[in-house]
Chain A
Amino acid sequence: MRLTLFLAAALLPAAALAQPPASVAAPTPERQKEIVHLVRQDCGSCHGMNFGGGLGPSLKPEALRDKPVESLVATIYGGRPGTPMPPWHRFLSESEAEWVVERLLQGFPAE
């Protein structure tokens, strides 16, 4: 494992190291499909299937851009007490929640 990390670091060009923290490991393509379905359909019941908002706020890139990524991940994973936002940790790992946030910021994939 350490060897792989070392190799990966050695192979990364200097430019990549200057980037913000590297992306989380992407879920497998099959799992991505499940997550996209979950987010579009089940998050969509409050945030809108196209994320324009509903009882929950908009999840479009322009609505999320000025919010810290960690707090968005924490909101998905742990919910937001005092609001209807429930915790999704039974259905998504923390790194999957992070993947969802990254995708939302880029414009979420279609099903």
Chain B
Amino acid sequence: MRKILALLSVVLLSACATQPQVRGTGDLGLVIERASGHVTLIDTSKRAPYARIAGLGDLSHASAVYSRDGRYAYIFGRDGGLTKIDLLEARIVKRVIQSGNAIGGSISQDGRIVVAQNYTPGGIKAFDADTLELLSEVPAEYAPGKFAKVVGLADLTGNRFGYALFEGGEIRITDFSDPRRPTTQRFPAGNQPYDGLVTPDGRHYMAGLFGEDGIALLDTWKPEAGARKILEKYGRGEEKLPVFKMPHLRGWAVAQGKAYLPAIGRHEVLVVDTDNWREVGRIKLRGQPVFVMARPDGRQIWVNYAFPDNSWVEVIDTLTGQVVQSLQPGKAILHMEFTPRGEHVWLSARDDNKVLIYDTGSFAKVGEFAAQAPSGIFFTSRANRTGF
């Protein structure tokens, strides 16, 4: 009898261990540990990690998007790996190598299609979000036999995706409403688009240009009008400062009716009115901005920097347009992520092997934990935002 009881308790215990705890996912997220192919799963209510998953390959440049229920993360690695993770069971559900060299990805409005953007071979590929089965692909062929690196992939309404071609100098919109038979529109954009974003309402797609001063803007509600250039010649012909890391653009650039965009080769954020797309200001900074991210309420803009100024983080107050706080939270601050309503910001300090948590009201540090060479931080609140 005792034996049976012991056996029964073992069976029950192991059943408990594999049953996910009944809970929501709205306060969960993950941290990429770029050097070792791990992700650490985190809980923003407890301000702490709760699990760590290995075996994600080369994460030296990695990003993540979420299923609309916030349970699954899709992680795009540098080596072309696409890994689906279950945040509740803390395990890899499925992993495929979908290209030789990838840069990121996106998820469709209806949550059914995950699209990866690739450098080698240049193009995009659509996968079934449940099974990761390949549905279709669109090569980034911009001239006969010539393929470009794809940058700035962003989800638009109607299961369309906007993206840009670095070598091809064009913006594209691919429509996956029939996911096995996508259709693509092409728009000349400018010299060397390096990244792109869609505004939070899903209407305007912007591609930042590296090869010339300016940003290409496409109204996706009126694509027939084509892309036009805004912020043209913002460098005023002055020599560019060297850019030791490319800025990253996403929908977080928009706050309070304005877009805050990193300049290329200038230590400035450029401010544009999103009604008429005219420049309305510039804010001087201490280095080349990489991430220029609005707190979800739009009151603050947090900025981090390219090497060699990447130990700094600065905060702009959108009411005054001034830098109101300069912080040195740690060595090599690579990324920032706000809690869903913005009371905290999480920062990855790559060279300190730490994630730091700051209060955005008092600018006081409220927590930290160890992570190996952390880079991107992604919270499940992205699941509900267009362009994330």
Contact = CB atoms under 8 A, between A and B. Distances in A.
Contact of B242 (A82, A87, A111): A87
Interface stretch (A12-20, A44-52, A64-72, A93-101): A44-52
Q: How large is the interface on B (under 10, 10 to 19, 20 to 34, 35 or more residues)?
A: 20 to 34
A46 B60 contact: no
A90 B287 CA distance: 15
Given A79-B242, A84-B246, A49 B34 contact: yes
B55 interface: no
A45 B332 contact: no
A9 to B, nearest CB: 40
Given A42-B307, A52-B101, A54-B103, A86 B242 contact: yes
| Interface SS of B by simple majority | loop
B244 interface: yes
A42 B244 contact: yes
A91 B351 CA distance: 18
Interface string B329-345: 00010000000000000
B194 to A, nearest CB: 7
B244 A41 contact: no
Interface string A52-76: 1111000000000000000000000
Interface string B117-129: 0011000000000
Contacts of A91: 308
Contacts of B203: none
A86 B308 contact: no
Q: How large is the interface on A (under 10, 10 to 19, 20 to 34, 35 or more residues)?
A: 20 to 34
A48 B210 contact: no
B243 interface: yes
A30 to B, nearest CB: 16
A90 B120 CA distance: 31
A72 B58 CA distance: 25
Contacts of B120: 53
B119 A53 contact: yes
A52 B78 contact: yes
Interface in A19-57: 37, 41-42, 44-46, 48-50, 52-55
Contact of A50 (B60, B103, B119, B149): B60
B305 to A, nearest CB: 12
Contacts of B79: 52
Contacts of B149: 55
A41 B350 contact: yes
A55 B166 contact: yes
14 contacts: A41-B332, A45-B245, A45-B246, A48-B60, A48-B61, A50-B60, A52-B78, A53-B120, A54-B103, A55-B119, A55-B151, A55-B194, A84-B210, A86-B244
Interface of B: 34-35, 58, 60-61, 78-79, 100-101, 103, 119-120, 149, 151, 166, 192, 194, 210-211, 242-246, 307-308, 332, 350-351
Closest A-B pairs by Cβ, 7 of them: A49-B60, A86-B242, A42-B307, A45-B245, A48-B60, A86-B244, A48-B78
